[in-house]
Amino acid sequence: MKSVIVGTAGHIDHGKTSLVKALTGIDADRLEEEKRRGITIDIGFAHLELPAPNGETLRLGFVDVPGHERFVRNMLAGAGGIDLVVLVIAADEGIKPQTREHFEICRLLAVRRGLTVLTKSDAVDAETLEVARLEVADFLRGSFLDPSHSPIVAASSLSGAGLDEVKTAIAKSASEVSSKDSTAIARLPVDRVFTMKGFGTVVTGTLISGTIRKEEELEVFPSGNRVRIRGVQVHGSAAEEAIAGQRTALNVAGVSTEELARGMTLAPADMLHSASRIDARLSLLSTAKPLRDASRVHFHAYTTETIAEVRLYGAKQLNPGEDAFAQLRLAEPMLVLPGDRFVIRQFSPVATIGGGVVVDTSIPPGRRRAEDITTFLNSLLTASPEQVLEARVARAGVIGLSLSDAQAHMNVRRSQVEQLAQRTSMVRCGELLISMAAFAQAGTLMIDTVRKFHDLNPLVAGMSKEELRDRLKLGSEVFCGALGKAIEEKQLAITGELVHLSGRGVVMKDEEAESKKTIEEAFAVAGLKVPSLREVLAGLKVDKVRAQKIMTLLLRDKVLVKVAEDLVFHQNSLTELRQRVAALKSTTSRIDVAHFKDMTGVTRKYAIPLLEYLDRERITRRVGDERVIL
């Protein structure tokens, strides 16, 4: 069963609500004040099932909107999710101000299907009805409601005349509407919040994409609250799930009615992000005044309304009838995604002046050239999904774009991002996508950084991986990927935790090599009665800094071993000591400090650090004042 949302539009008192009631049997005016005053104040809802021309059943959800100019903001809250519009014009009054404004709003929201109904046809004679029809046809010519493909039907809600024709026209138009994507990320802009006795908090809205199921956890944007779906209703009937294109009511747990309001949006948790700045393609109506850069406007998207500051890219003002790229700086964050349509209204006096389409909600920090921005935004509007992903990944540079961010920026599921990535030449590093050019740049930068390090530190075998990553300011996934590639291509190598050029060792001058030999021999010939490290280094021909680097090199290569502060031994001496102590096990299982001093000939200054070294090496284990030989 195909679900389609039908919206009404038109001037006050032209019979929109009466027409909906005549078609569906449901009075969309639910407020006591509406019934008392006889005018629609807020959006109302009704539903109807009709057979399509091909025999398929159409489930129609009607959104009835107020026609009074004071309630256009309420009208906008209901118009965002409609698939087709019924433009209602009273035959005895013709085209009025809100007829024009509502029509322009539908056009700005990119509504592509609909029909026009001349209501109150029984209130005029045939000649007046025909004049009204000609006037309306002339008004609509060249638009999405052009009479050549969109019918103008005369009807009376009182007598019932023409209602069957209206239903037929709605069914035909609805059958031509493309179904909303029920596999996309679910989004429900909230238009009503109330408490129902025995159920608790209930929210309603038009499900503009995806599917929502019972017991699912959703996030409330922009507050970040989490709710659990206790129950689902579609067009007034309980259901296990709601799919895109349906009027939906959700019984939610986890929040109170005070924590929810019209303008919020429900979507799967941890998938999407609210935005306070968006880049958009902005169109100004031909009837509007010029829009200056930095002007404040009322911004409407789905059920949300806020104040926005318009920052034009590369222009000081937008003239009537023109369009341009602009950044909209929202007074409050909201959940809008690329492809969403919006309407802007003049700040004061309030009137609809334009609208457009959201192009990008992931605005990078820092200053950007207007030319670069417009080129990028234009590519997002005109490119294929694969090219859009490539453009977004390329913009991320060596930082890369995570799969979760790509999903949020493009309004597609993670599985779709992965499929798009497989059809491109980009590189995947764990959860990150990076362009081949940026990946190659990261590798080149890494190799150059290591080469410069070698030039400045010839006595150091290489850079630690953490130091290298910190200098490059790369994420761990891109860093590991680029390092792995450089090692695979034999441009870099790793020894322990040190990264160095492949085949590159420590480069020493003659006096440095001589000093290295002097240090090693000084400790080798000393056995266990080693000299002071400070004394050995002080006697070298090289300066203190280079002497320390040579010493570090000997310790790193384990030629020398630091047993305690300022107490260093040659590895051969320690190896011999371990063997001698282990050999004692054949005659005794324990050894104390005195026995150790007699065996080695060293003083207590050396004995205690050496015994602690043997403990660390698991040759011995201290028990009281003795060591057990393991």
Q: Which two tokens stand for residue 17?
A: 């609500």
- Nearest alpha carbon to residue 345 among 69, 607, 621: 69
- Nearest alpha carbon to residue 224 among 279, 271, 277, 278: 271
Query: Per-residue pLDDT tens for 364-416?
Result: 887 888 899 999 999 999 889 999 999 999 999 999 999 999 998 888 888 99
Say if CB 537 and CB 445 are below 8 A apart. no
**Predicted local distance difference test score (pLDDT) of residue 557:** 75
CATH 3.30.200.20 holds for 275-370: no
**Predicted local distance difference test score (pLDDT) of residue 76:** 81
- Nearest alpha carbon to residue 363 among 353, 371, 348, 373: 373
Share of the chain above pLDDT 90, in %: 60
Query: Per-residue pLDDT tens for 257-306?
Result: 999 999 999 999 989 999 999 999 999 999 999 999 999 999 999 999 99
**Predicted local distance difference test score (pLDDT) of residue 543:** 77
Residue ranges of domains in the chain: 2-175, 188-268, 275-370, 510-629
**Predicted local distance difference test score (pLDDT) of residue 70:** 66
Residue type for position 567: L
Q: Which CATH number fits domain 510-629: 1.10.10.10, 3.40.640.10, 1.10.150.20, 1.10.390.10?
A: 1.10.10.10
| Confidence category of residue 37, pLDDT binned at 50, 70, 90 | low
Q: Which CATH number fits domain 2-175: 3.40.50.300, 1.20.59.10, 3.30.420.280, 3.40.50.2000?
A: 3.40.50.300
Same fold flag, 188-268 and 275-370: yes
| Confidence category of residue 352, pLDDT binned at 50, 70, 90 | very high
Instruction: Write the CATH number of the domain with boundaries 188-268.
Output: 2.40.30.10
Query: Per-residue pLDDT tens for 449-458?
Result: 999 998 887 7
3-state SS class at 454: helix
Query: Per-residue pLDDT tens for 74-95?
Result: 778 878 888 999 999 999 999 9
Paired residues of 34 in beta bridges:
none
**Predicted local distance difference test score (pLDDT) of residue 166:** 96
**418-423: average pLDDT:** 93
Q: DSSP E strands: which ranges in 401-445? A: 401-402, 427-429, 432-434
| Confidence category of residue 69, pLDDT binned at 50, 70, 90 | low
Q: Which two tokens stand for residue 536?
A: 């050995």
CA distances from 453 to 129, 450, 462, 589 (A): 87, 5, 8, 51
Burial of 25 (0-12, 13-18, 19+ CB in 10 A): exposed
**Predicted local distance difference test score (pLDDT) of residue 32:** 63
Say if CB 162 and CB 227 are below 8 A apart. no
